[in-house]
Structure 1
């Protein structure tokens, strides 16, 4: 009890510290740094001196802190004095072994290179590097506040900032005291653990009302709660004990979350009594099988629904939580790899008819292979529809990769000041502050009051530094889905992906922060008012590095999670991705022995336009976007040509990952066998990846990509057949199609070397594709006649000239 009182006092002290200090110098709701070029070490370590200075400063402060803590304490006897020869030998061995490791590390993937497009990572922000390094010297453990008072406070600040970025509004303290729902977020080691935690919370809240009702019926200590009432999905006030099991399983989530606190308050049952009683009636304590056996013997097993593009961590989650892999029901995806709302509605309809509990529905906000964003806006509407019919479920957005793109829509503190200004003079003053904070590099714009509201000036303003590519906004479809994030119960987001932060740094954010109490093992069932509990009490992990919290905090402090910080940075990555996509769809020449088909369809393809319209878009891309043109020239062209701007905005992926497959040609004939196509793309992947341990040698690869496969067992046969027809190969039952993946997470990509680097990377692809095509043809030259489809047309054989058997395909599904 003494330890608990001390811990509560410490948490209160941290909370007071956050309330006071975070309003000023530690707040994350303030402008960040104005020079993006200082945010990274750089592809060629351009900021080497600055990094050295910051690391030296971190060491100096850590050394000083050790001296300042009880300065009169004796120092450790010098080993050099006790055993000089042995000490020197030990240091020499230390350095020798360290140099060995450093030599091996030179063989690591060159993450910061322009040529690295392999995964969802690039260079890491300097603030996150020095923040992690500095805190590592103090070795703080965010499992509990007494082991990490400062980094615990930093993690709380980061949690709030991530919530704001994703669209969860943080109410003020007075509103919280009067019942306002307060969001909450915390750092995890990665997105997989965050996903697992979200399902854990969803499972526990699904069964909590059933357990509470059973406890009230059977435990004498809970007898005073027999008349507690709740609001149902239909808005009716009912006594908890009068509800049947189906109604208890489908209480509104916020009502279920409040139940323990309401019972304690209205029935006068102490928290410790309530917690002890619930232990005998909760799924957390009994396990799912025993819970169903005792209280829900006639209720079917629960399910979780996720699309075919869902990360493999969801299979882990249902297994770890005792639901079983069979409980993960796959939702079909359409030809853009987005959840099919029609199929989701049908699956929910089946559960409603069967009386089967739905624990959670997952929407992917940026798939890791296709960069596809699910129609979250429509999914929210579907949930509201089924709520009216008595079916409740937790809605989770897996934004591990795509979550940070929400920053492109978030206003900065200065934006909010501008909108709140009541006079022209006040607005001009805020604009001058914006200029002072961020800078403008276009001399044609008035240096005092820029025209920030027109398209071209906004694009130039957001560039802020000529070393970066221009930025681009999310397209209309994607914006609509991100605006719906605020309606999700939980959201996963990874700072070590879209936040450019060093590993490990995932995160989970709760719309209703009180939901985290359902997975707490060291805290009371009922929250202590508005006092923020330690971040370490919740989630899957125990010990967790305080260094990760500092890394994310310092990065957010200098690169705000709004449209001027991370939003501008990711907008530049999207601009680079669209230019890469443009180069890809138009790369094949008449004499090339190959052609390429991008998974992400051109806008004309998506709407089923005739081939002539598709060809026109390809010509427009080749002549206006891919032609020798600088970023600034393209920006000007986009600002003056609505059709070109609309095409540029809509083409490519929903974010900045491009998936594509190569096929080969022999004169006027194209390969028709999936196996040969897969062989070609596998050979290309081997040539553009690190395939063996290189003993510390710097990798000798001209371009790094990754690869995957559209497998019928995951995506469904119809999905794979449709892609096969687009490529021009014969569909084969049960056979997947290999594809390559390029991630453009480098904001300098299209400006490096005066814009000449990206065309050179396309030429690398051309060389690799040519070698792979010639190799595969040589390997299978004996069956030439059976292998090829004669088109009578040489050169580019992309989406406007599909296989003659091509036909529209229905949505694809993932098998449970």
Structure 2
């Protein structure tokens, strides 16, 4: 951004000038707020002087913020923001639009609607298809996940409310007494009023969402009488009363099936919705930290035996710590198997992080000629591509523009395959419901900044959500992440006193597990043919390029841990290894900036490389995964009861391997090695022999 200061300054000045002109030209005969006389008064001038002084202090203080933009920042899921996103956000902020309703945001609400269509297209939902998809902006992935679970919960129990309303209001709704529904197996069409509670909570998503429309179009129910259903919904009655009336002894407690490596927003959502954290049923992961279909199958079978409705099955498309991608295609196929037994449930994809990587799969509208690519842009692996190609069959998807979309906070997003699902969480107020409430009628939030929608809108219009725009940026980041993984995983070859264990397996570890010789040979190949080569040399080396494509994570987050090698043997003590990795995270992390005195900003010391630290929790990853990591680190004893501390690096910089000075990764590699050595010296102060 600093390199484009003039461009951004021009855009911001243009926005400010246009805004001020619009203010002057509206109601031109009205008196001004601030006259020349006011500006010349001592009070006004003193206020301006105070504002300038305090503003300068704030700018100094903000200068100590996290340098997400730096080559050396390889930590959390964050990077620089796009210039159009910043310009759009700033321009809209001047008008302070609130996208709660069209009345307060007639422009930015329309922009949010366009952004919703953009996000749907990016994820594979077609805005002109039937059922029509729908998407909107939220403050972040946490709120989007909460809304997805909220709407899925209400959807699951909605048929019970419809049936009860028909029975209770024969005069208004009696025309729908013979309303039939198609069961999940696609063969049986049964009368809704003849279904028991278990059958009602296992109807397919589209069948449930189509009930109101069919009541009006096929059974002559007046649209205004559909409101009678609300009095019998779980949303209106609450869990306890709804259970007492309709579920007691018939249907058990609800279950949410979610990968064990779930984001912490899911326990939050379950607690807020009254499902409780105990309602989250974890699905075990494999050695690549992806959900296993075998575990998912077992969990669904357990729910069937306990007559527990699965109100949502969550697939993670880019986990927080390892950017692992769950087998969505296989999860969808498994649901089809259960459909044969008339068991159904909504499937949600938590792609808060990974959603924008779908741009890698979206063909560009036209092929641009004469482009020079300095950093190769990689596609994702065959396995990952298969999951992305299945996105259009998921019922809802969380996606965060403020992550891999590079736009300012707050800008999360949620898309529904069937836009009618938004009606499951529709609320309004008399002063908002003017017959044209826009996007604010739906979801968790009320007031929210229209500037967020404007920032996403302009960024999408300039960069485009396809292979030519975001796809190229993220494809280059993917290439650089794989090169960073290659550099870090081979550190032990140059530095025999260090043992570094990546959590993402090397290809040879998948193909020939336990073959130490083959592992050493592959590491040597990676060092000689990838780490020590230029981008152009890798691009023209088919064998190196083929192997590079299989290295690293499913996306651009790598996890790894260090151990000390002393007298040729790795330290066997988990507690000491944990201390080493905790110290590395402290030495190579971003320390909180605290003013030295009131209104006096501190000047933090930044390390030569910035990474983040975390810990593997045994309860989440399981004993097999924990044992493999412990073995890679040379640790002895049972690791199943103790977290294993580790480091995380996320690479979103598309230029990291092709800077003005060439590949910057060797600088980061040596900074990491030095940080590891410094930590080891504290844990083992005596010289290693």
TM-score by shorter chain over 0.5: yes
Q: Distance in 1 between matches of 2:657 and 2:25?
A: 49
Q: Which residue of 1 aligns with 2:565?
A: 665
Answer yes or no: is 1:157 the counterpart of 2:114: yes
The answer to whether structure 1 residue 258 and structure 2 residue 207 are counterparts is: no
Contact 1:184 1:513 in 2 (8 A): yes
Secondary structure at 2:148 match in 1? helix
Aligned to 1:754: 661
What residue in structure 1 maps to residue 266 of structure 2?
314
3-state SS, counterpart of residue 204 of structure 1: helix
1:186-225 to 2 correspondences below 5 Å: 186-220=136-170, 221-225=172-176
2:231 aligned with 1:280: yes
Alignment partner, residue 628 of structure 2? 722
Task: Pick closer, same or farther for the CA change 1:377–1:77 going to 2, 3 Å.
Answer: closer
The 3-state SS of whatever aligns with 1:304 is strand
1:490 maps to 2:402: no
1:55 equivalent to 2:12? Answer yes
Q: Which residue in 2 is equivalent to 1:811?
A: none
TM-score normalized by structure 2? 0.95
Q: 1:231 to 1:733 in 2, by over 3 A?
A: closer
Q: Does structure 2 retain, via aligned residues, the 8 Å contact 1:129–1:502?
A: yes
Instruction: List alignment gaps of at least 5 residues for structure 1.
Output: 1-40, 173-179, 415-430, 442-462, 785-793, 795-816
Note if contact 2:161-2:230 (Cα within 8 Å) is conserved in structure 1. Answer: no
Q: Given the alignment, which residue of 661, 671, 679 partners 1:772? A: 679
Alignment of 1:335-734 (within 5 A): 335-414=287-366, 434-435=368-369, 439-441=370-372, 463=373, 466=374, 469-522=375-428, 534-589=438-493, 592-609=496-513, 610-627=515-532, 629-637=533-541, 641=542, 643-695=543-595, 696=601, 697-730=603-636, 731-734=638-641
Match of 2:103 among 125, 130, 146: 146
SS of corresponding position for 1:198: helix
CA deviations over 1:431-479 (Å, ceiling 9, x no partner): 5xx32xxx423xxxxxxxxxxxxxxxxxxxxx2xx4xx22111110100
Alpha-carbon offset, residue 592 of structure 1: 4.1
Aligned-pair distance for 1:523? Answer: 9.3
Structure 2 unaligned blocks of 5 or more: 596-600
Aligned partner of residue 256 in structure 2, secondary structure: strand
CA contact (8 A) 1:108 1:698 kept: no
SS at match of 1:541: coil
1:133–1:69 distance in 2 versus 1, CA, 3 Å: same
Q: How does 1:99-114 map to 2 (within 5 A)?
A: 99-114=56-71
Deviation at 1:225, TM superposition (A): 1.8
Partner of 1:420: none
Maintained 8 Å contact 1:501/1:551: yes
- Secondary structure class of the residue paired with 2:492: coil
Partners of 2:240 and 2:625 in 1: how far apart? 36
Whole-Å Cα distance in 2 between the matches of residues 571 and 604 of structure 1?
24
Structure 2 partner of 1:182: 132
The RMSD of aligned alpha carbons is: 2.0
Distance 1:280 1:512, change over 3 A: same
Equivalence for 2:183: 232
Tell me the distance in 2 between the aligned counterparts of 1:140 and 1:386.
46
Any conservation in 2 of the 1:368–1:401 contact (CA below 8 Å)?
Answer: yes
Contact residue 80 and residue 87 of structure 1 kept, 8 A: no
Alignment of 1:8-157 (within 5 A): 41=1, 45-78=2-35, 80-81=37-38, 84-157=41-114
Q: CA deviation at 1:722?
A: 2.0
Q: Deviations over 1:776-812 (max 9, x none)?
A: 0128x9xx9xxxxxxxxx9xxxxxxxxxxxxxxxxxx
Counterparts of 1:183 and 1:708 in 2: how far apart (Å)? 37
Partners of 2:348 and 2:495 in 1: CA distance: 49
Q: CA deviation at 1:625?
A: 0.4
Q: Deviations over 1:244-277 (max 9, x none)?
A: 21111111110100101211233332223221x2
**1:82 positional shift:** 7.4
Alignment partners' CA distance in 1, 2:42 and 2:618: 66
Kindly indicate whether the alpha-carbon contact (under 8 Å) linking 2:539 and 2:545 is maintained by their aligned counterparts in 1: no
- Cα 1:645–1:590 change in 2 (3 A) is closer
Structure 1 residues 78 and 721, CA gap change in structure 2 (3 angstroms): same
Q: For the Cα contact (< 8 Å) 2:255–2:311, is it kept in 1?
A: yes
What is the rounded CA distance, in whole Å, between the counterparts of 2:648 and 2:634 in structure 1?
Answer: 20
Structure 2 counterpart of 1:452: none
DSSP 3-state at the match of 1:147: coil
Does the 8 Å CA contact 2:593/2:604 hold for their aligned counterparts?
Answer: no
Q: Deviations over 1:23-49 (max 9, x none)?
A: xxxxxxxxxxxxxxxxxx1xxx11111
Tell me the number of residue pairs that the alignment of Structure 1 and Structure 2 aligns.
676
Deviations 1:66-115 (A, max 9, x none): 01112122112427437611111111111111111111111110110111
Distance (Å, rounded) in 1 between the aligned partners of 2:176 and 2:346: 26
SS in 2 for 1:508: strand
